[in-house]
Amino acid sequence: MTPKTLPDRQRLILKEIVDRYIRLHEPVSSRMILEDYGLDVSSATVRNDMNELEAHGYIEKPYSSSGRVPTKQGYRFFVDWLIDLSELTREERHEIVETYARRYLDVGETIRRTALVLGDLVGCAGFVIPPRLGDARLERVVLLKTDEHLAFLAIVSDIGIVEHGLIPLDEDLSEAELEAVMRAINSDLRGRSLDEVRTLASEEGPEGWYERSARQAFVVLGRLLERAVLHRAHFEGLLNLTPDLQEMIPEQAMARFVELGRAVQDETSFVDAVRTARAGRSGISVHIGDLPLEGLEEFSIVSCSFGPYDGVLGIIAPIWIDYGRAMSTTTYIANRLETLLVTSSARDLERNEE
């Protein structure tokens, strides 16, 4: 029986079981349902409804004489039912706005702070899969002399700084000579995708690039971009999960946490699993124990896409997470981050047109 074909009373009872279990972390009995809703039916009728819900796989008994707890299928019903997302408090919204109160030009730093505030607000692990930086457009390269035979190179895209580092110089170039190299790179490459720039760096470079210093800077630029466009994910707050796991499943808590740690250790596999599960969908998505990655079978992943260039952020949580709060927080932060990056892109476009 599908959720849509469940009788109205059973839908109400199932919603109450999931909601109570999320809030109180204890099995739910027929007596509790009657006390909460004052249904004009007998306790035996409610028990029969709960037996049917159990037979259809929505709830289960953790032990023979207990009340019921939701299964993954029951949690899925609850998530699908949550059309109106719960609201964040004014204090929580203020904390998120403060995180983005100024424009962080460094995309990596912005990603880190986003994962941190997301995990802290929900009390779980936060993650951010950065936008597909290979599609971003090169705004400019910054070259600054720091010492003899050493310069600082920063790659600025239309959404901010995507990579930076120190580069060795075979020759002791003057600041004027280094600026000339920077102008040559920016003149030929501005507006190209970072994937295009990376490809050029692995070849001979743009026509006319015969200066050894320019070629050297260009090769290092390509190497930095190789690192920037890797399929990585940033995680914060994994330890936030331990108190809840120890409270709910003390004997299994350590094993679950170790499994989770192994699952997220391979960032490329995690990114591929999230993108595969989302299947190109935009907006919010919830996966309850069904993300295609070993070690996450007993965890829920609440994720939301953000632009530009197809980024994804979200939380990793036990399956008894407060889904309304998790979905609301994830959606709100994704919208704030997208606004920040799109605004950054628009500012760079205006500067190019001036």
Domains of the chain: 3-81 (1.10.10.10), 90-131+231-353 (3.30.450.40), 134-228 (3.30.390.60)
Q: 132 is written with which tokens?
A: 């597909």
Is 107 or 322 the better-scoring residue by pLDDT? Answer: 322
Mean pLDDT of 33-44: 79
Neighbours of 300 (CB within 10 A): 26
Percent with pLDDT over 70 in the chain: 82
At which residue do the structure tokens 């990056």 appear?
A: 341
- C-alpha 25: how far from its chain's center? 26
- The answer, yes or no, to whether residue 111 has pLDDT greater than 60, is yes
118-to-115, 205, 298 alpha-carbon distances in Å: 5, 41, 21
SS3 307: coil
Instruction: Report residue 138: phi and psi, to 5°.
Output: -70, 125
| Average pLDDT along the chain | 83
Region of 2 (left: φ > 0; alpha: ψ -120 to 50; beta: rest) is: beta
Mean pLDDT of 157-179: 80
Asked if residue 27 has a cis previous peptide bond (ω within 30° of 0), the answer is no
**Which range is least confidently modeled, 4-13, 86-95, 252-261?**
86-95
- C-alpha 53: how far from its chain's center? 33
- Is there a contact between 335 and 144 (Cβ–Cβ < 8 Å)? no
DSSP string, 175-207: HHHHHHHHHHHHHHHTTSBHHHHHHHHHTT-ST
Q: Whose CA is closest to 274, among 299, 293, 259, 256?
A: 293
Q: Give the amino acid at 18.
A: V
